[in-house]
Amino acid sequence: MQEILDLLQNDARLTAEDIATMTNKPVAEVQALITKLEQDGVILKYTAVVNQDKIPSEHDVVRAVIEIQVTPEREHGFDALAERIYRFPQVKSLHLMSGGYDLQVIIEGKTLKDVAFFVSEKLATLNGVKSTKTHFVLKTYKENDIVYVDSKKDRREGVTA
């Protein structure tokens, strides 16, 4: 099972036939396992990974990482507040964290102003949110095991006399 999951995580376009050939398993067995993994919620979605820096500038996206300190709710802990937060369409990921803050949110907006508005008017005003700290993403080098920078580029500086 893990081998098939690894293959799909690396390339979601692989067919059951491709995976069967790569794993020496019957096609029907591979297809049945993939179907079961989808039904059981192990495989949640198939998606394309897009390098936002390569998209024309009229489609720029501003990403921010937000650290949030919260007061957990009685009988619900962090879950009820986390659900209110992850329902916002700007939220791309949300994690319960250990350490100096409780939740980490990654959001996207069209402009710095959009992100600032979301933090000040939507996020910070939620009951249970004690404080937020926003960090803007300036450049992505690697995410989810995918390297975003062109490693073929010659990074040596020229020498002039």
Q: What is the pLDDT of residues 118-140, one digit of tens each?
A: 999 999 999 999 999 999 999 88
109: helix, strand or coil: strand
pLDDT in tens, the chain (161 residues): 899 999 998 899 999 999 999 999 999 999 999 999 999 999 998 888 877 777 776 667 899 999 999 998 888 889 999 999 999 999 999 999 999 999 999 999 999 999 999 999 999 999 999 999 999 999 888 888 888 887 766 556 666 65
pTM: 0.76
55-140 is a CATH 1.10.3720.10 domain: no
Q: Which two tokens stand for residue 132?
A: 């937020």
Q: Where are the beta strands (DSSP E) in 15-112?
A: 62-70, 91-96, 103-109
Nearest to 34 by CA among 79, 71, 3: 3
Tell me the CA distances in angstroms from 55 to 13, 52, 61, one per residue in order.
22, 5, 10
Q: Are 72 and 78 in contact (CB under 8 A)?
A: yes
